[in-house]
Amino acid sequence: MYTYLLFLLILLPCLAFSAWASARVNSTYAKFDRVPTRSCMTGYDTATRLMRTRGVNDISVNRVDGRLTDHYHPTKKQVNLSMSSYGSTSVAAVAVAAHEVGHVMQKHSGYVPYKIRNVLVPVTNIGSRLALPVIIVGLLLDLLWTTSPMPYGRWVVYIGIALFGLSTLFMLVTLPVEFNASHRAKKMLVEDGILSPDEVPAASKVLNAAALTYVASLLISLVYFLRYAVLFLSLLRKD
């Protein structure tokens, strides 16, 4: 009971931080989406030029529905920009487009954390969906089969914790990947004359606000993982 209350006391501030980070990225983007760049280049123009000037000619730039749904799809070789970024000439749109190109350049240059994250993607996609249900099923089995000679329930719990651990590892690797993509983005924007040096601080605010959402996700994932790690240790003590 005490450990569960402690878990809640740690989790609630993390959830509050996550909500604040989400609101912050939306408000920051909205603020600088009203600030046009002097170069008058759109998000599409930005992504296209940054890749072409660096010899990347096999990636298409597409428009997708939604707001802040921008992403790079390495398998399909697509930089997908949201409707709010694709045709906008704002500092916010240009910064987001350049960030996605930052991921393209990570793959192109063989950036190691990016490679690790890509390897983890298929496993963590499954793990993040199955971890909690597996843990719950394991606990139920453990309660129902306490007299059984085979600890079926506990093994299922262990599998669930391992899956959750992989998801947490994925979030941990994602942080340097996202920060590095933003660093690359700002450098490329200045090198190609899309933003002048005095426009970069505004772009930094947009990218830093977006990075906070990844920090929040990592914190929440860590708290849950530690919660289940404590559960794992408690089961070991019963053996």
The sheet with strand 78-82 has its strands ordered as: 60-64, 78-82, 71-73
Q: How far is CA 36 from the centre of its chain?
A: 27
Helix axes 112-144, 152-191, angle to 10 degrees: 160
- Under DSSP, the state recorded for 110 is T
CB neighbourhood size of 37 (10 A) = 23
CA distance 154 to 182: 43
| Residue 114 CB coordination number (10 Å) | 23
| Residue from 100, 178, 191, 199 carrying the catalytic annotation | 100
Q: Please say if 100 is a catalytic residue.
A: yes
Residue pointed to by tokens 């740690």: 10
Supply the residues annotated as catalytic: 100
